[in-house]
Every structure is written in C-alpha cells, then in structure tokens.
Amino acid sequence: MKNYLKTIVTFIFLMAAVAFVPTTSEAALSTPTNLRQTRATDNSVEFTWDTVIGAYDYYTSISDGMAWSEPERAWDIKESYSKLSAGRTYYVKVYAIDKNGNKGPESAAFEVVTAPDASQVQTTVTAVTENAISFSWTPATGATSYDITSRYDNIVPNLSVTTTSATVGNLAPATWYGFNVVACRTSSSGFKASDSYTTVTYTQTAGTSLPTGNTGTVLTAPATPSTSNFGVYTGSAPAGTITFQASDPNRTANGYELEVRNLKGKLIKTISSSSTYSASTKFRKNTPYKYRVRLYATNGVTKMYSGWSGYRYFWISNVTGKKHYSLRSRNAKIKLKWAKVSGTKGYNVLMSTSRDGKYKKVKSLSKKAKSVTLTKFGKKRLNKYKTYYIKVVAKIKVGKKTVSNDAQLINYNY
C-alpha cells in the first residue's frame, strides 16, 4: 500500500511538473548589473546594484587588486566595507542566490575608491591682492583632484583643480573670505570620493593670533586708491615740514603707507599711518618730490596692501615778502623773494584778492629769477589798504607734463 501510494504520488508529481510552467522566481538568476558607488570615507566604501529578479539574497566580496575576500552576505541591494586604506582603489563583485541557495552568475569586478586622508593637507596663503587670493597645500596620498569650496553660502563658485595650488579671483576688496580644500579621489566610473576638508588659514608667527570670529578666513587687500584719495594736508615752509592725509572711501582699510621719491625715482622716505593724517615730516626745501600711497588692512597676522596709487607732486618753497607804501599815497608795491627751486623751467606769479578765489597770472619769470616786485593787479595799482594773496609757482615738468605743487604756499596780508 505504501509502495502504491508512493507510485501514485510520484506519478501525480511528474504529471504536475509537465503541466506546470515555472514562475519568474524559479527562473535562472541573472548577473547583478548597474553597480555604482554611493558613499566613501577615508576608510570605507558603500555601493549598490539593481535588484535581480528571483534573488533571495546577495553575496559580495572585495579585492585590493591582489586577492579577493571571502564572499559575505549583503542582506540588501547595497553593501559597505570598512577598515580600508585612505586614497586607495578597490574592486567589488556581487552575485545573487535564490531561496534554495542556488548561486547566480557573478558580476564583473567594479572599481570603488576611498577618500584621501584630509589630515595630510596643510594650507599656506601665498599671495593676496584686492581681487584675488592664492594659496597652496601639501598633497594627500591618492588624491586625483582637489575641490576648493566656500565656507560661506554664495560667496564664490567652487573650483576643482588637479594641482596643489589655486587662485580664487573676482573678489571684493578688503573683504573676509573663507575657503576649504577637499582632497578627492575619482574612480573610473566617475564617483568622486571625499571625506573631510582643510580650512585655508594664514601662516601664523609666534605671538600672533587671528581676529576673533575670523579664524580660518582670508582677507583681501583694500582697493587701490586714486590720486584724489590722498594729498598734502598742511605744510610749513619755514620749517620745511609736510603733513600728509589719505582716506579710504570704502572705509575698510586700517591705515596707509606713503612713499616719497625724488623725480629720478630714488626713495627718500616711507611714512606709515593708522589714522587719516600722518606725522609731520621734514623735507629738503626747494626740491621737487613725487609721492604715492597704498592702503592696508590687517588680518591679525600681517598687513594686506592695496596696489600703489598714481603719483602726486610737491616741493617746499619758502617765499617771503613785504608790502611797501607811503603814508601820503594809497598806492603800494609788494616785493617777494625766494630760493631757486631745483629743476624749474621758470616761475608764474599768480594773484587774487580772495584766498580761495580765482587767481590771475600777473608775471611770468625765467628760471633764474629769485625775486619780483609787484605794483599792479590787472590794470589797477596795488592798494595799501587791501589784502592780496600771491602764489609764486615754479614750473616743474615731468616728461612733457607740467605738474602742480600740492604744497603750494600762499603769501598774503600784503
């Protein structure tokens, strides 16, 4: 009876097998496809693949290019491996098994990469201008490129370079910026692995510190000043001293540096000031000078200088004189004298009845002249009861251009 029954059961099973069409889940397993890396740190990788129809589970293995690991159960359509070396290339393979434990075909080896070790990257600021910041860094083992990212939203577009230096341009003058250097390793499939970053900072010297709240950021230099942003504030012809002034229209500079040269270009003096006005400085009289200025902003470690302005000119000429008149007459005459100004082509004598009014040329003298006597202003005789304002202007040429004297003395009370 048991044998018969067994025969019947066997027969029924065979007939059912002939009549039954296998479902998809019982079909042969296919090769896992579309492997792709989804994540990386400097010691781990994560990857995934498309679902295999009929798969009950998956097994993966990894290789460093020399030997393969024992297959491990993945439990899902993704897997991760840790305790790997930074900045390295590895290979992974996947196969599926069905619910009966039957193994499907293994995928081709797929390349995955770990991120480089960010701690190997040490940055140095190499150059700063009003519109650009340049910096370099030590390489990270295994890095194929470096991303330069902004520490703040929307400041500048991110850059990607394959060298160990970068320049970020199109920046605003005297503005704090923050940048990070991210070491990357890119796989053959295009996945870019990166982990941490290194912030671009100034190289600090002993006893210095960056401003509170700006640590790790870089300051651009102030904008280059125009010739209208500086000049002579006041001067004393008898003492031969000059006080300069300079301003920053953007109000971002911490001070300025002014250099004075003779007309041949030799540096005579360098003057620094952290306020609008410089200290009073003595110069040789009757000698023309040219001078220019650059602004600076401090980052707490060093000074970031703007470009140099164009040149302005000055010379100190001590003109003295006296008004002469008779008690019996309203008429007067004014006698002036001075020392020769080096390099002058001559002198123009200008006169006005108002210090800030319009000056009219009343005399043109040769370069040998050292004095003049004035009796008229226009067609009228000088009046002993009036005050006249007089400029004796040396004609100094730089190239083909006659330059004006920022320290021009005005003689008055005559």
> Which of the residue ranges 39-43, 220-224, 395-399 would you say has the lowest mean pLDDT?
220-224
Q: Which CATH number fits domain 227-314: 3.40.50.1700, 2.60.40.10, 3.40.50.300, 3.40.190.10?
A: 2.60.40.10
- Note whether 118-219 and 227-314 share their fold: yes
Alpha carbon distance 54, 11 (integer Å): 28
pLDDT at residue 3 greater than cutoff 60: no
Q: Model confidence at 25, in pLDDT bands (50, 70, 90)?
A: very low
Write down the pLDDT at residue 173.
86
pLDDT number for residue 216: 52
pLDDT tens figures, 85-106: 999 999 999 999 999 999 999 9
pLDDT per residue over 230-276, tens digit each? 999 999 999 999 999 999 887 878 899 999 999 999 999 999 999 99
CB 218 within 8 A of CB 299: yes
Q: What is the pLDDT of residue 220?
A: 85
Contact assessment for residue 140 and residue 120, using Cβ atoms and an 8 Å cutoff: yes
Q: Which pLDDT band holds residue 203 (cuts at 50, 70, 90)?
A: low
Please state which CATH number belongs to domain 118-219.
2.60.40.10
Q: What's the confidence (pLDDT) of residue 182?
A: 96
Question: How far is the C-alpha of 52 from the C-alpha of 25, rounded, in Å?
Answer: 10
Segment 311-321, tens digit of pLDDT: 999 999 999 99
3-state secondary structure at position 329: coil
Indicate the domain borders of the chain.
25-113, 118-219, 227-314, 320-403
- Phi-psi region for residue 213, left (φ > 0), alpha (ψ -120 to 50) or beta? left
Residue 23, pLDDT score = 38
Res 304: pLDDT: 84
Token digits for 217? 């950021």
Write down the pLDDT at residue 21: 34
Give the model's pLDDT for residue 413. 60
pLDDT of residue 328: 87
Torsion angle of C-alpha atoms 350, 351, 352, 357, degrees rounded to 10: 10
Residue 77 near residue 50, CB atoms below 8 Å:
yes
Note the CATH number of domain 25-113.
2.60.40.10
Confidence (pLDDT) at 172: 85
Q: Which band of pLDDT confidence, cut at 50, 70 and 90, is reported for residue 10? A: very low
pLDDT at 206: 45
- Residue 157 has what pLDDT? 64
The first and second tokens of residue 327, run together, are 């008690």
Between 322 and 60, the more confident residue is: 60
- Whole-number percent of the chain with pLDDT over 90: 72
Beta strands in 357-407 (DSSP E): 360-365, 371-374, 376-377, 380-383, 389-394, 396-398, 401-403
Topology of the domain covering 320-403: Immunoglobulin-like (2.60.40)
Backbone φ and ψ of 376, nearest 5°: -135, 155
Query: Counting beta carbons within 10 angstroms of the beta carbon of residue 273, is it exposed (0 to 12), middle (13 to 18) or buried (19 or more)?
Result: middle
Task: Report CA 154 to chain centroid distance, whole Å.
Answer: 15
Tell me the pLDDT tens digit for each residue of 321-356: 999 988 889 999 999 999 999 999 999 999 999 999
Reported as a single tens digit per residue, the pLDDT across 64-90 is 999 999 999 998 999 999 999 999 999
3-state secondary structure of 1: coil
Q: What is the pTM of this model?
A: 0.70
